[in-house]
Structure 1
Amino acid sequence: MSSNHGKVETDVEIKAPATKIHEVLTHRPHHISNVSPNNIQGCDLLEGEWGTVGSVVYWNYFHDGKAKVSKQLIEAIDAEKNLITFKVIEGDLLEHYKSFKMTFHATPKAHGQGSIVHWTMEYEKHHGDIEDPHTLLQFAVDVSKDIDAHLTSAQA
């Protein structure tokens, strides 16, 4: 693996059940702009159906102080493991990366309520001068926390 290939990952603790946050990302990502408006401006289904492998979604988001877009293929869904993988097929990320894949995996906490959300981002940079996507990983954490706050609020 060349130095242009990389992987970053992180965990975030949330209060919501793993199944609930997975359901939002898988079947209702178009609602995320309502609960994380500073980060996500919209999510549209371009091909397929919400929550199905092979579907294509188009995200409008705000990252590193700029409005950006990302067209993503839903590459994998595992409802039992609360897992979904998105492969970027068009958009701003591909200006810096030849390939970019994001995996969300939520696991119920062993003792008590809540879950651990594990984000993994695997990528290949166009060249070695490009930064690893740590700010995008933090972006995913922030969006996860916003979804969690919505799911655990009284009106959810």
Structure 2
Amino acid sequence: MAAKTAGEPMSGKLEAEVELHCSPAKFYDVFRNTAHHMPNHSPTHIQAVQVHEGDWDCHDTVKFWIYTCEGKLEVFKERVEYDDAKRTVKLNGLEGDVMKLYKVYNVIYEFVAKEDDNGEGKQQGVAKLTIEYEKLKPDVPPPTKYMNFITLLVKEADASLVKAA
């Protein structure tokens, strides 16, 4: 096992962007109002979403996700925050498999419209993905596998939403 360098940071941020083919407003609406349908939009990655505390569309609701990351079934309990003006969803990690590695684990999805440059009047955009994290131990790797997971989840859900339109 390779030793980690002494200067490797204990916390950080990973960022990625995914081109959306459906409307960013529609994608945000799925997270905001119908997250229980995510297993239908991304069955490869999401097996179930359940409300643990609160209501589906309330700010500060606690949700429990069952998902598959790199072929392994995992769970994630989070408290959600919404910013309707910016179409941003923030999942603040509370419990689950990922919390065995990270003291802080927050996933931020921001759905941003871009100018229509194809002349067809379609409102496309990008999903800006961010993971904020703080490791429990120095030898824990950055959550790159989870960034890959949410990138693939967004791509699969985007394709489903386009097909459903």
TM-score bracket for the superposition, by shorter chain length: over 0.9
Partners of 2:101 and 2:145 in 1: how far apart? 14
Q: Using structure 1 for the length normalisation, give the TM-score.
A: 0.93
Within 5 Å, give how 1:14-33 maps onto structure 2.
14-33=20-39
Question: Would you identify which runs of 4 or more consecutive aligned residues in structure 1 move more than 6 Å?
Answer: none
Partners of 2:154 and 2:31 in 1: how far apart? 9
Q: Which runs of no fewer than 5 residues in structure 2 stay unpaired?
A: 1-7, 118-122
Q: Using structure 2 for the length normalisation, give the TM-score.
A: 0.88
Match of 1:6? 12
- 1:80: how far off? 1.8
Q: Does 1:128 align with 2:130?
A: no
In structure 2, give the amino acid aligned to 1:71.
K
CA RMSD of aligned residues (A): 1.3
Match of 1:37? 43
Deviation per CA, 1:43-79, whole angstroms, max 9, x where unpaired? 00111111221100000000122100000001x2111
Deviation per CA, 1:71-101, whole angstroms, max 9, x where unpaired? 0001x21112110101010100111001111
Secondary structure of the residue aligned to 2:36 is: helix
In structure 1, give the amino acid aligned to 2:30.
V
Asked if the contact 2:41/2:157 (under 8 Å) is kept, the reply is yes
| Aligned mate of 2:55, from 34, 49, 56 | 49
- 1:124: how far off? 0.5
Identity among equivalent positions (%) equals 30
Q: Which runs of no fewer than 5 residues in structure 1 stay unpaired?
A: none
Match of 2:92? 87
Secondary structure of the residue aligned to 1:38 is: coil
In structure 1, give the amino acid aligned to 2:97.
D
Larger Rg: 2
In structure 2, give the amino acid aligned to 1:12.
V
Q: Does 1:109 align with 2:109?
A: no
Secondary structure of the residue aligned to 1:111 is: coil
When the two structures are aligned, how many residues end up with a matched partner?
Answer: 153
